[in-house]
Amino acid sequence: MSDTGTIPKGRLLLFRILRCNPQAEASLPQMQEFKLEEAAGMTLFLALNEIRDTQDPSLQFDFVCRSGICGSCGMMINGRPGLACRTLTKDLPSTITLAPLPGFELIGDLSVNTGKWMRGMSERLETWVHDQQATDLCAIEEPMEPELAEQIYELQRCIECGCCIAGCGTMQMREDFVGAVGMNQIARFRLDPRDKRDDGDYYQLVGDDEGVFGCMTLLGCHDVCPKSLPLQTQIAFLRRKMLRVGL
Ligand code: SF4
Ligand code: F3S
Ligand code: FES
């Protein structure tokens, strides 16, 4: 409250949002502008909801958890991939440009089909524990050293938001590149003693130009990952390992 008893007004934000509806043949991509008064603690999630509620009910964007867990709200925020639900407007300039993540099928406006891409990557890299001996579903699992469990957990924090894909230059050139998210998955399963695949098996999956050797170490993935996963370290480690296996 100010001295005069009035609540100070927030900044007037200008949102420039890339609109496109691929379902409508005549729809061409275009920037649309919306103005909104900033409120205390406003996130892009809250701002987009307010715009949709008060200005344009046709605006498309994705949210589920609103707390950085589900990975569905990734978008380009002033040219950088990020999670809209974890981005405060106060940390951005008053003009905010939003666009869908590149590299994924566009559903409409800011909504992209990351799930389809992630499923394809997961099937291709077989991101599940391979243990042909495990026929007894009631068998008690071997205990795992806490340090190892923690290392696996660290890599498993990936929420498959797609920000690393959108922030990777290689991805824009190689359609089948598995990206940092795919290489992180391989690094995760390689650590897991329950996965009986060996280095040769992993090499088959990512030891080529669509995997470890296609990566040009641009490190955009590492910079934009909202979960701060150690992508740079994992990619470098896999590359060293693969070079040895390949010799
Ligand atoms: Fe998102 Fe990071 Fe996982 Fe990439 S590695 S999908 S940026 S959480
Ligand atoms: Fe792309 Fe990351 Fe490699 S940005 S080129 S996957 S280091
Ligand atoms: Fe779930 Fe943003 S809404 S991560």
- The 10 Å Cβ neighbour count of residue 169 is 10
Q: How buried is residue 113: exposed, middle or buried, by Cβ count under 10 Å (0-12/13-18/19+)?
A: middle
Q: Coil, strand or helix: which one is 83?
A: strand
- Rounded to the nearest 10°, the torsion over CA 178, 179, 181, 183 is 70
Q: Coil, strand or helix: which one is 46?
A: helix
Closest ligand 2 atom, residue 232 Cα: 7
pLDDT for the residue numbered 174: 93
Residue with tokens 């150690």: 230
Q: How far is the CA of 221 from the centre of ligand 1 (A)?
A: 8
Amino acid identity for residue 231 in this structure: L
- The CA distance from 196 to 183, in Å, is 18
User: Which domains are assigned to the chain?
Assistant: 12-112 (3.10.20.30), 126-244 (1.10.1060.10)
Closest-approaching ligand to the CA atom of 66: 3
Q: What is the pTM of this model?
A: 0.92
Q: Is the Cβ atom of 17 under 6 angstroms away from ligand 2?
A: no
Give average pLDDT by consecutive 10-residue segment, the chain, 247 residues.
60 97 89 98 97 98 97 98 98 98 97 98 94 70 91 97 97 94 96 91 92 95 97 94 70
